[in-house]
Amino acid sequence: MTASVKKRKKAKVLREDCVACGACVNVCPAAAVIIHKGIWADVDHDRCIGCSKCAAICPASAIRMEIS
């Protein structure tokens, strides 16, 4: 019998679409998102809890939830 490891989805930023507005930073309960140099959002996958709040608020739909 093999132990199944449930993989959690994490937020992934589509840099090309990100407008760096910071809406994701403000809703993240884990403080896992920063705005990199004012150009795009960056997610720290070690901190991300996969709640998808950032993906829901992103006005540019530039955040996807993916299994990392």
# of chain residues touching other proteins (CB under 8 A) = 18
DSSP summary character for residue 10: E
Q: Closest approach of Cβ 21 to other proteins, in Å?
A: 4
How far from 3 is each of 6, 14, 66, CA to CA, in Å?
Answer: 10, 33, 22
Q: Which helix (H) or strand (E) holds 24?
A: helix 23-27
Q: Closest approach of Cβ 1 to other proteins, in Å?
A: 43
Q: Is 29 in the site for other proteins (CB under 8 A)?
A: no
List contacts with other proteins (CB under 8 A): 17, 19-23, 25-26, 35, 37-39, 56-61
